[in-house]
Amino acid sequence: MAEPTKSATLTIDGTSYELPIHTPTAGPDVIDIRKLYAQANVFTYDPGFTSTAACDSTITFIDGDKGELLHRGYPIDQLAAKSHYLEVCYLLLYGELPDAKTLEAFEKLVTNHTMIHEQMHNFFRGFRRDAHPMATMVGVVGAMSAFYHDSTDINDEHQREVASIRLIAKMPTIAAMAYKYSIGQPFVYPRNDLDYASNFLHMCFAVPAETYHVNPVLSRAMDRIFTLHADHEQNASTSTVRLASSSGANPFACIAAGIACLWGPAHGGANQAALEMLREIGSVDRIPEYIARAKDKNDPFRLMGFGHRVYKNFDPRATVMKQSADEVLDLLGVHNNPTLQVAKELERIALSDPYFVEKKLYPNVDFYSGIILDAMGFPTAMFTPIFAVARTVGWISQWKEQLADPQLKIGRPRQLYLGDTARDYVDIENR
Ligand code: SDX
């Protein structure tokens, strides 16, 4: 990071403190408060981190006002149109687009790590069949630390690399196994002759009793969904992975923590919640009732798949996802899908409603993704596991970047304490 060229002055009780300002390659300037507590004996206060940069990074940039999302400088709409998920994985991990030979070697490396240790199959059988697949994924991914001891030493660059490839390669296998277990079908092993997205569809939808042919339209749509969810700067689950990693926890434990955080309906769980909401609305004539509820301060209901902490214009991923929904449903011959009609009308009405316009609430990546996944045959409970599969490369890239930072310190926020000051214990007979 370049030396600061300017500073901010903070004056407290007549004493002034100079705080360096860092200028990024893109985005707002950053006031460096690392020495503030030592100098002025004060904390800053920012629950939810609305104004806080927790790290520096070169991986992903988001401009919420412009609706811009760059991965190592490349716009998401170009990557979604021209690239594919494993190439985007390489870009996020190593910083540059690979040449053909390098890409082929990377894809082969990932492909050859897609099987999981056979004994890990037993973990799935410890869950109830109706367990949410995210519960299974948190458990099984965390358990990888118990099977892959040769890639848990975070201080060993080679082990970090092996863990990275293992996680990217095995997440689809684990997610597909969680799905198969939930529907009582046998696990389907990965196949090395299939690309990443086709392999995932095969592991989810093939059965031993017959040959499964991957529909290239679905495979392309699946790959695009993976690409659109790959990374997203310092979102809640990525920040969870970074915080877990700052204590020196092994990569599998850190990714399991990220999966757990992603599960929440305010974050990755929104794709499941959004489709369930659209189904609950059911028809266009019921939209006004739900718009009114979303605006009612006394009603906890929110439009799932709407709003974003950063995007205050539009989520570029939602734009691509909406186009993909139209293409996939048309090609599948699913015309006049009522859920898609409700989604489009809900978007139209909401974006003309002053409440949503003033609060800058637009569809986010989760608003349309569930419609495509539903049309592809996935149950809603598999939507967030698919998000987790895709986001693993983002978590891993940010995890690697943080471990390479010589300034890495354990993350340990402070607080604004409003509790009791010191007081003496009162014996029970005197209470
Ligand atoms: C993801 O961070 C990331 O990058 C995440 C993600 C990624 O790729 O990692 O992009 C993936 O998590 C997308 C977001 C998915 N979540 C949802 O769709 C759930 C519904 N959305 C909201 O819960 C909310 O919009 C958040 C959580 C996404 C953002 O919350 P913020 O930034 O904390 O905003 P806020 O809750 O302070 O809301 C600001 C105002 C509030 O009204 P006021 O208190 O100012 O009067 O807008 C209102 C909110 O009540 N509001 C909504 C709303 N979202 C915000 N009102 C109705 N419906 C909504 N969806």
Q: Is 172 left (phi over 0), alpha (psi -120 to 50) or beta?
A: alpha
**Mutation choice for ligand 1 from 232, 263, 309, 358, CB with most ligand atoms inside 8 A:** 309
Give, using CA atoms, the residue closest to atom 7 of ligand 1: 232
Residue-level pLDDT at 276? 95
Q: Is 308 among the catalytic positions?
A: yes
Residue 61 pairs in a beta bridge with 70
* Closest-lying ligand 1 atom to the alpha carbon of residue 236: 2
Give, using CA atoms, the residue closest to atom 35 of ligand 1: 309
d(CA 67, CA 349): 20
Q: Which residues have C-beta within 8 Å of that of residue 241, sequence separation ≥ 6?
A: 254, 255, 257, 258, 395, 398, 399
Q: Does residue 71 sit in helix, strand or coil?
A: strand
- How confident is the model over 50-94, as pLDDT tens digits? 999 999 999 999 999 999 999 999 999 999 999 999 999 999 999
The radius of gyration computed from the CA coordinates of the chain, to the nearest angstrom, equals 23
Place of tokens 């196949």: 191
- Kind and range of the H or E element at 62? strand 60-63
275 close to ligand 1 (CB < 6 Angstrom): no
Question: Once rounded to an integer, what is the mean pLDDT over residues 340-368?
Answer: 92
- How confident is the model over 291-315, as pLDDT tens digits? 999 999 999 999 999 999 999 989 9
309 close to ligand 1 (CB < 6 Angstrom): yes
For the beta sheet containing 68-71, the strands, ordered from the edge strand earlier in sequence to the opposite edge, are 60-63, 68-71, 74-75
Nearest to 399, CA basis, from 262, 234, 263, 268 = 234
- How confident is the model over 154-206, as pLDDT tens digits? 999 999 999 999 999 999 999 999 999 999 999 999 999 999 999 999 999 99
Q: Can you say how many angstroms the Cα of residue 96 is from the centroid of all Cα atoms in its chain?
A: 21
307 close to ligand 1 (CB < 6 Angstrom): yes
Q: Give the chain's length.
A: 431
**Which DSSP string do the residues of 218-240 spell out, in sequence order?**
HHHHHHHHHHHTS--SS-HHHHH
317 close to ligand 1 (CB < 6 Angstrom): no
| pTM greater than 0.85 | yes
Q: Is 77 among the catalytic positions?
A: no
Q: Can you say how many angstroms the Cα of residue 156 is from the centroid of all Cα atoms in its chain?
A: 26
Residue 2: is its pLDDT beyond 80?
no
123 close to ligand 1 (CB < 6 Angstrom): no
- How confident is the model over 414-428, as pLDDT tens digits? 999 999 999 999 999
Distance 308 CA to ligand 1 centre (A): 5
378 close to ligand 1 (CB < 6 Angstrom): no
Give the pair of three-digit tokens for residue 276.
């369930």
Place of tokens 């949503």: 356
Residue-level pLDDT at 335? 78
Question: Once rounded to an integer, what is the mean pLDDT over residues 133-138?
Answer: 98
| Catalytic residue, candidates 223, 231, 315, 366 | 366
Residue-level pLDDT at 313? 86
Residue-level pLDDT at 268? 95
**Which DSSP string do the residues of 87-128 spell out, in sequence order?**
HHHHHHHHSSPPPHHHHHHHHHHHHTT-S--GGGHHHHHTS-
| Catalytic residue, candidates 84, 231, 308, 315 | 308
331: confidence class by pLDDT, cuts 50, 70, 90: confident
76 close to ligand 1 (CB < 6 Angstrom): no
**Mutation choice for ligand 1 from 302, 304, 313, 367, CB with most ligand atoms inside 8 A:** 302
96: confidence class by pLDDT, cuts 50, 70, 90: very high
Q: Can you say how many angstroms the Cα of residue 148 is from the centroid of all Cα atoms in its chain?
A: 24
384 close to ligand 1 (CB < 6 Angstrom): no
Cβ distance 221 to 324 under 8 Å? yes
* Closest-lying ligand 1 atom to the alpha carbon of residue 294: 57
Rounded (10°) angle between helices 338-350 and 365-375: 170
Distance 307 CA to ligand 1 centre (A): 4
Q: Does residue 18 sit in helix, strand or coil?
A: strand
Distance 135 CA to ligand 1 centre (A): 24
Residue-level pLDDT at 212? 96
- How confident is the model over 253-300, as pLDDT tens digits? 999 999 999 999 999 999 999 999 999 999 999 999 999 999 999 999
d(CA 176, CA 222): 13
d(CA 345, CA 347): 5
79 close to ligand 1 (CB < 6 Angstrom): no
The β-bridge relationship of strands 30-31 and 15-22 is antiparallel
